[in-house]
Structure 1
Amino acid sequence: MEMETLPNGNSATTAVSAAVTVPSLKLTQLAESLKLEHQFLRVPFEHYKKTIRANHRTVDKEMSALISGVGDAADGDLSRDQAVQHLNSLVSRLQGLKRKLENGNHTENLQAQRCRACLEHLESADLGNLSEWSNTRLKRILVDYMLRMSYYDTAIKLAESGNIQDLVDINVFHDAKNVVDALQNKELAPALAWCADNKSRLKKSKSKFEFQLRLQEFIELVRAENNLRAIAYARKYLAPWGATHMKELQRVVAALAFKSSTECAEYKVLFEATQWDYLVDQFRQEFCRIYGMTPEPLLHIYLQAGLSALKTPFCYKDDCTKEDPLSQESFRKLALPLPFSKQHHSKLVCYITKELMDTENPPLVLPNGFVYSTKAVEEIAAKNNGKITCPRTGYICNYSDVVKAYVT
């Protein structure tokens, strides 16, 4: 069978090979992109596990109380009316447990559904819907940023407008919102309750967040000049931490000798309002650690990676081309603390002409990802009526399809 030859002399086999190259490159990029979705899957899964553990503790607690109640009724010398009343109270408690289990089961089903939705979303990523999938991913990143910055209402509206409620962590951050709001209002009870709910996880990570909350509660008693209560509080809640945090404990307990109006710098700082801001920051860090979130918002991470890849010394020169994003003052400020791209010392040599690619002979990128010098591409286009054939893959495109790359 005779092979068909294309007008430019390349065989049909070469053209097919080139056509396959572009999707394969995009698939590779997509696969690399999916490796960054660790947080996307872990957060709902950790929330699901937490709910299961909470429901299990509730069942254990209630069943222990019920069994104990039945034992007391059997062993006790109760009259008929007393026994009936006691059993009725146990039945009422069982009915209450049933309602709790039904609510817990409903919550577990919703969270399992969300885990399933996240998996299906990742599995749906392919070349056919790459643009739409990437747009959804961008919305997820923006919602994550808004939730971390406490813009809850805006985050909810964006999630609803994009129909991505099952793909974002609004329910998870709702618990954090209650704690953050309380700490900002100088209330410690919700934060201490959160520590109690996550006691095993915090202990495993050797967190001292609960200790810091207890210290603040002690300081508030000292501020109110309620020294007797402060001493009793220290004996009950601070003394158990002495084995691991003795120096901090001694320093704070010594605050009993001072008032909130003290001018002693070492103790004055303990009574400042900034201590509450510090507790908010500490809570957010512990919250992210427990759920496996990145310490910084994903938006920051992606922006820093992109800006660092673009940043070169040439970007900060007056003759920097306006087509370079870092020619804009706002982008320069964002990129200022970031390292320069490691490519700024590289030398690019054209595969075709073997000549150096620089600002006089800048590199051009073909749609299939291969790069050649402007001189080489223009020569190929001039010989083929504006058509360019990649010498390594046989891929064919128009000269208007190539994109200029910037180097220093």
Structure 2
Amino acid sequence: MEMESLPNGPGAAASKLTESLKLEHQFLRVPFEHLKKSMRANHRIVDKEMNAVISGVADAVAPDRDMSKEEAVHHLTCLVSKLQGLKRKLEEGTRTEHLQAQKCRARLDHLDVAEIENHSEWNSMRLKRILVDYMLRLSYYDTAMKLAETSNMQDLVDIEVFLDAKKVIDALQNKEVAPALAWCAENKSRLRKSKSKFEFQLRLQEFIELVRADNNLRAITYARKYLAPWGATHMKELQRVIATLAFKGNTECATYKVLFEPKQWDYLVEQFKHEFCRLYGMTLEPLLNIYLQAGLSALKTPLCYEDDCTKEDPLSQESFRKLALPLPFSKQHHSKLVCYITKELMDFDNPPLVLPNGYVYSTKALEEMAKKNDGKITCPRTGLVFNYTELVKAYIS
């Protein structure tokens, strides 16, 4: 028994393509979330700058404020400069929003099934997108950018978003928390809604570094300012970390020694990647892993691990078997028979015929063979020759 070949023809290809679009949630959401983030940032800038200008005007016309002509001119000049600065920031922000909206439009056009003429070319582009996603997640940024550039698909991949994340990851790997804390501040409302502990973990690590450096007074001041507000929800973890003031950085007590180990920074990097993916609606696993696992699981049957497994089955290869080992077997409600000779599905219109030696082939294949050999059938597996009249029809239930 072999795997059923995929359906051919424009209709079948379009149907398969429509089904595949259900997996493109991340493809559309990431640029949309990036656009929303830019719009929120621009809105905050406008609020901040306009409030400052309005406050400055109110201060200038206050009844108790006695300004000379020179002071008034200087004051108004400063306000005008602020407004000009705001105008430049808004122009830059508008350009950024326009580019991100353009990226959203490019992706919608890319997924428009009605406009796709070459399905093979579209699938090839999709594979490249998946490879770029894989490279970006594994920090192969230069290779990812080169592939995106040579394939002319910059609008279809999320390089800019991952480069922003790279700054935070590089800083954490260098044991610096400032960029990560700035990222938390930018996305404070979103992180609060998801009940994220990432900022708290960063604060704890900063406290641990102060204790490691024997800056106990600074550590206590830091704890009062940045850790105390988390006490209501994370008291147990807070008490454990505060206790390091007594145990010191060179403690041998396993409960507290682990807090000073370098792997805590690796944990923060992984936690940031998790929060980053969740913020943008990305899958935690690379798309390449997900598609490989889904494909291998769909192909995996107990027969794949038998010695007589056909070589045309991908899981006959040891490398694929190893990848599929932890995956579940495919749930097959009905068996599908594929002809060994023609590789076509054996069904009601092309029923299977059984040779006297027990091997089964499709009616279409054996009829063609009989026509070419004066009614004789040669079994391609054993080489035995039979008359076509000896064949028995098999029925699929």
Tell me the TM-score normalised to structure 2 length: 0.84
Indicate which of 20, 29, 42 corresponds to 1:55: 42
Contact 2:346/2:362, CA 8 A, preserved across alignment: no
Contact 1:52/1:108, CA 8 A, preserved across alignment: yes
Partner of 2:253: 264
Matches within 5 A, 1:293-372: 293-343=282-332, 346-348=334-336, 357=337, 364-365=343-344
- Tell me how far 1:384 sits from its aligned partner: 7.4
Indicate which of 7, 11, 15 corresponds to 1:28: 15
- Tell me how far 1:82 sits from its aligned partner: 1.6
3-state DSSP of counterpart to 2:61: helix
- Partner AA of 2:264 in structure 1: Q
With over 3 angstroms needed to count, the CA separation of the structure-2 counterparts of 1:83 and 1:367, relative to structure 1, is: farther
With over 3 angstroms needed to count, the CA separation of the structure-2 counterparts of 1:37 and 1:281, relative to structure 1, is: same
Matches within 5 A, 1:3-402: 22-75=9-62, 76-123=65-112, 128-343=117-332, 346-348=334-336, 357=337, 364-365=343-344, 373=352, 374-382=361-369
With over 3 angstroms needed to count, the CA separation of the structure-2 counterparts of 1:303 and 1:91, relative to structure 1, is: same
Any idea what the Cα deviations from partners look like across 1:57-91, whole Å, max 9, x if unmatched?
10000000110011111112222222211111111
Unaligned regions of 5+ residues in structure 2, if any?
1-6, 353-360, 374-397
With over 3 angstroms needed to count, the CA separation of the structure-2 counterparts of 1:240 and 1:158, relative to structure 1, is: same
- Partner AA of 2:22 in structure 1: K
Any idea what the Cα deviations from partners look like across 1:267-303, whole Å, max 9, x if unmatched?
1110001001100111011111111111111001000
- Partner AA of 1:183 in structure 2: L
With over 3 angstroms needed to count, the CA separation of the structure-2 counterparts of 1:140 and 1:384, relative to structure 1, is: farther
> 2 CA distance for matches of 1:67 and 1:210?
34
- Partner AA of 2:32 in structure 1: F
- Tell me how far 1:371 sits from its aligned partner: 7.7
Any idea what the Cα deviations from partners look like across 1:299-330, whole Å, max 9, x if unmatched?
01000001111112232333333322122222
- Partner AA of 1:129 in structure 2: N
- Partner AA of 1:377 in structure 2: K
Unaligned regions of 5+ residues in structure 1, if any?
1-19, 349-356, 387-408
> 1 CA distance for matches of 2:351 and 2:252?
69
With over 3 angstroms needed to count, the CA separation of the structure-2 counterparts of 1:337 and 1:94, relative to structure 1, is: same
- In the comparison of the two structures, how many residue pairs are matched? 356
Partner of 1:11: none
Partner of 1:393: none
Contact 1:179/1:190, CA 8 A, preserved across alignment: yes
Contact 2:13/2:119, CA 8 A, preserved across alignment: no
3-state DSSP of counterpart to 2:309: coil
Q: Name the Cα RMSD after superposition.
A: 2.4
- Tell me how far 1:362 sits from its aligned partner: 8.9
3-state DSSP of counterpart to 1:323: coil
With over 3 angstroms needed to count, the CA separation of the structure-2 counterparts of 1:253 and 1:58, relative to structure 1, is: same
- Tell me how far 1:346 sits from its aligned partner: 4.9
Contact 1:46/1:291, CA 8 A, preserved across alignment: yes
Contact 1:365/1:372, CA 8 A, preserved across alignment: no
- Partner AA of 2:167 in structure 1: N
Identity of aligned residues (%): 71
> 1 CA distance for matches of 2:98 and 2:138?
29
3-state DSSP of counterpart to 1:225: coil
Contact 1:48/1:108, CA 8 A, preserved across alignment: yes
- Partner AA of 1:286 in structure 2: E
3-state DSSP of counterpart to 1:90: helix
Contact 1:43/1:292, CA 8 A, preserved across alignment: yes
> 1 CA distance for matches of 2:371 and 2:9?
22
- Tell me how far 1:22 sits from its aligned partner: 3.5
Contact 2:350/2:364, CA 8 A, preserved across alignment: no
3-state DSSP of counterpart to 1:342: coil
Contact 1:44/1:115, CA 8 A, preserved across alignment: yes
Contact 1:311/1:335, CA 8 A, preserved across alignment: yes
With over 3 angstroms needed to count, the CA separation of the structure-2 counterparts of 1:384 and 1:105, relative to structure 1, is: farther
Any idea what the Cα deviations from partners look like across 1:382-407, whole Å, max 9, x if unmatched?
47779xxxxxxxxxxxxxxxxxxxxx
With over 3 angstroms needed to count, the CA separation of the structure-2 counterparts of 1:227 and 1:21, relative to structure 1, is: closer
3-state DSSP of counterpart to 2:15: helix
- Tell me how far 1:104 sits from its aligned partner: 0.4
